[in-house]
Structure 1
């Protein structure tokens, strides 16, 4: 009886830690993607647009400290963690070979979903990027954590060697601190469909080279092997160390970028180098955020309305990621309501908050009515239907 109660508690903690992380991650992704659609404002530093008021500068500051190049690594950590959970469950039900086939099948369908999102809907892709990484690094699910640590170290060192230099060169070539906004305001859906379709294979390659996620995915596999978010109460000391250490490194790595063009005016190569450091320290930020949600899963003993809603969104993270991307395109791009031509940094943040709150209420209602995320359900059907057919035959 005691064992059953302990198992139930562990499942509750696991669901809360993971689902809170996933639901909150979606909010960070909204905030990081919306500025890409502010196409009438002058470029600021790298991907930010220039602020014109105190609030604009304040929100840009918060974004660079807490969100930019931090939301993506958190997503990658959770993706790697999820791969471990799927692999472990399928090994228990079938065998390692079948588990690997299922993992790779899921990755192929994620690539397909991402291609449709980017090519047809015009959203920002991360699904193709993670799907490709999953295909190449699925083998690491068979390895113990000693091997995983070596993979993390090797992939991180490779990124350290070229990312700051690469971005230094990008800004020198650009001849400005800020990268130009891709949108002009003249785009139409029919006029850009061919360009979007052609760019499908380029997008994940570009992301892997310039905003690498592989170290963070491997970190997620390492954490998954420890069961650190499924059984967080057994890893409190490690969770605290990862939270404090990861977020401290993340904060320190963001400070140079925050100072550029306001307090510090370095040469272009140095500014790009600082942005590379911002990307690299985001790896630690992703792990720090994941560990923080592990601690929150322990600390939260009563679930209020907001906690229930965030967890409900986290359970349906694939569905709501796609919804958020489509809503962002519809509301902000010139292909639909073109709000991106009229928003400021401050009002764009408010739009992001309202979007998240609106979809949060939908997630909460879906949970109350016990409605699964449609994309999650469809992905499970696609992945496991072939498995059932093979078993029956």
Structure 2
């Protein structure tokens, strides 16, 4: 057994810059997350399959259709794939610096427990649709697969996808029979919404695991090959994944997009259930396609990223902070006891607000980058998760280099 203390071994091998592609992907992904979440804060409307209002005007219907096609069930798989990618890279860096696998696994699980705690606080105070707890649960349950064979990763991903598609079909049946479940975002006071948010979150967080296991594991597979960190070496594969993934997502999402945009109005249960399941399934391909597209852009712009790419990457480096700030802004703007825009805006207006909030976090993150400030949520998560890990000789910890992961 090694006599070197854990806190001296689990350190970065050297200082150095971050890879552009994962950060760029996370920064851009947060726009999709904002668009997917904003309409959930609207209230007083009857909702369709993906939660968009059924009483909106032509512009709202267009926005709903485009977001069902390009955003809903596409952002979450992208997020999951990047999380799986980051988890593997964290473990690889620790082990390259001298930690053994049991130590690395314990550290991953300790970080996952804190992500679960962050998710609980997020749901308690702000938003029932938190995803941090789901990722924490996945880290606790699946950290051992970091060292599994590729065949095992792909087998588990395939089996989970079959279960996921079955549940998606059952979800569509439930919506058809009972209508969409109201979102707990219309509480008249801070305390009034706590119970409803936690009740919804306690069911949603574990259920979402099945939604994201497959892209999470495929992200782990990609990390072993450093697809996003060495996009030049894997350009041909990234092109195939980007083109095929986005094309499959668009084609597979089109039927449900037409339904939720109320272009296709004579649908039946026999057509809507497969449309919903197909939309969910092809969202996995879309999420992977978006991540691959970010890798290609990063490869093309690596030598001279420019202001926009640099700002997006800065947002990605502080993705946890920016993700939480989105919820803070949405609560301040939308809920009845504060800005109350949730009772006045339509889907198009909510999406415009979402884009503005995301742009604000990008500008804030870029300002922090220029001042050399890390994201406060990332700093807190790192200190809690790696409390026994210190910098050595001026080097940075793995957490410093990994960001939100």
Aligned to 2:37: 33
In structure 2, relative to structure 1, the CA distance for the partners of 1:236 and 1:275 (3 Å cut) is same
Cα separation, 1, equivalents of 2:283 and 2:188 = 33
Cα pair 1:171 1:268 within 8 Å, conserved: no
Report if aligned partners of 2:128, 2:198 keep a CA contact under 8 Å in 1: no
Match of 2:344 among 342, 345, 357: 342
Structure 2 match to 1:295: 296
Structure 2 counterpart of 1:96: 101
Stretch moving more, 44-53 or 61-70: 44-53
For 2:57 and 2:123, the matched residues in 1 are separated by 33
Shift of 1:34: 0.5
Distance in structure 1 (CA, Å) of the matches to 2:309 and 2:204: 34
Deviation of the 1:100 alpha carbon: 0.6
Give the counterpart of 1:23 among 12, 21, 27: 27
Find the counterpart in structure 2 of residue 122 from structure 1: 127
Deviation at 1:247, TM superposition (A): 1.1
Matches within 5 A, 1:23-172: 23-50=27-54, 52-93=56-97, 94-160=99-165, 162-172=166-176
Distance 1:192 1:96 in 2: 43
Q: Does 1:284 align with 2:285?
A: yes
Unmatched tracts of structure 2, length 5 or more: 1-15, 391-405
The root-mean-square deviation of aligned C-alpha atoms, in Å, is: 2.0
Cα distance in 2, alignment partners of residues 272 and 111 from structure 1:
32
- Report the CA distance between 1:168 and its aligned residue: 3.4
Asked if the contact 1:233/1:298 (under 8 Å) is kept, the reply is: yes
Alignment of 1:264-275 (within 5 A): 264-268=265-269, 270-275=271-276
Matched residues in 2 for 1:61 and 1:192: separation? 30
In proportion to residue count, which structure has more helix?
Answer: 1
Using structure 2 for the length normalisation, give the TM-score.
0.87
1:164–1:274 Cα contact (<8 Å) kept: no
* Compared CA separation, residues 225 and 269, structure 1 to 2 (3 A): same
Q: Please give the residue correspondences for 1:308-323 in structure 2 after superposition, counting only pairs within 5 Å.
A: 308-323=310-325
SS in 1 for 2:50: coil
